[in-house]
Amino acid sequence: MRERLQALKEEALAKVDQADTLNELQDIKVAYLGKKGPITEVLRGMGKLSKEERPVIGELANKVRETIAGELDAKKEKLEARELEEKLEKETIDVTLPGRPVTLGGPHLLTSIVEEIEDLFIGMGFEVREGPEVETDYYNFEALNLPKGHPARDMQDSFYITEELLMRTHTSPVQARTMGKYQGSKPVKMICPGKVYRRDTDDATHSHQFTQVEGLYVDRNVRMSDLKGVLNRFAKQMFGEEREIRLRPSFFPFTEPSVEMDISCKVCHGEGCSVCKGTGWIEILGGGMVHPRVLEMAGYDSKEYTGFAFGMGPERIAMLKYGVDDIRHFYTNDIRFLKQYHKA
């Protein structure tokens, strides 16, 4: 048995040395150390030995088993290390190779302008409100002192869905809805940005879809001077502290008195140029004191409450602030144009 065990050891160690893969190594382990292996068979045959030989052969068999197992483990470590090295070599990343540039997007210029307007008015205590773009005729017109048949409706030629539903022509319905919700129980101080729709022919200064930001402040003792102060702060923060404003009389069915606001031309500083058409002023928005009838329809006592409202177009503000010469640039998705204003 000694010779048999010695021969098995030498045979197993030779095969371990020649093994070139982990699978071959596993096969050798099963063949020599498994339950059906030759060493196990030797141990099972020890019953035929004398009492003196059993412990000697048993000890030798265990040493052979341990020697083979040790060599298997050592060879396994070498093969695993070699496989890892080969894998790393195949998957090597050249960290000195310049990376591929990642193109980053940015906010649309109109989004930036609207957010800038929102931040400005939030800083003055206004809250931002939104409403549906598909609006009822009542909130779009009648609640704003524009009853059916009113000639001023012609100024807002509309996209009607049914006789009573249309795409809103301004964001003023959000104001009417908000006042109607409160029914005179509390003051209102809000702006409402959003998309609006009118049946305009698209050209350099008109679009069938555009954005508006309208504002409303209703409380006790609200005066025209309050409106002028708010708009003056807006103009200076949006266009520069050197900007001056002027208010001209105008007409809107939902305000009385009504005004148009101009800002001094930033190109000629009021001297007159082609941008301001020689006047030194550029029209920027409209506003006025909320018409008493609008207040009454929303549940406010017009003898106790007064208010002002205003509305502006972010497209026009962007065109004036950044020198954009065609409103259609905002909607044609030309990356060359849009990329210019990612950091606006």
Consult the annotation and say whether 256 binds a ligand. yes
φ/ψ bin of 106: left (φ > 0), alpha (ψ from -120 to 50), beta (otherwise): beta
Q: What is the 3-state secondary structure (H, E, C) of the chain?
A: CHHHHHHHHHHHHHHHHHCCCHHHHHHHHHHHHCCCCHHHHHHHHHHHCCCCHHHHHHHHHHHHHHHHHHHHHHHHHHHHHHHHHHHHHHCCCCCCCCCCCCCCCCCCHHHHHHHHHHHHHHCCCCEECCCCCEEEHHHHCHHHCCCCCCHHHHHHCCCECCCCEEECCCCHHHHHHHHHHHCCCCCEEEEEEEEEECCCCCCCCCCCEEEEEEEEEEECCCCHHHHHHHHHHHHHHHHCCCCCEEEEEEEECCEEEEEEEEEECCCCCCCCCCCCCCCCEEEEEEEEEECHHHHHHCCCCCCCCEEEEEEECHHHHHHHHHCCCCHHHHCCCCHHHHHHHCCC
The type of residue at 12 is A
- Report angle CA 42, 44, 48 to the nearest 5 degrees: 90
Find out whether 101 and 165 touch, Cβ atoms under 8 Å: no
Bridge-based pairing of strands 188-197 and 209-219 is antiparallel
Calpha distance 144→9 (Å, rounded):
103
Q: What is the largest CA-CA distance in the chain?
A: 127
Distance CA 156, CA 200 (A): 9
Detail the residues annotated as belonging to a binding site.
256
Binding-site entries for Mg(2+): 256
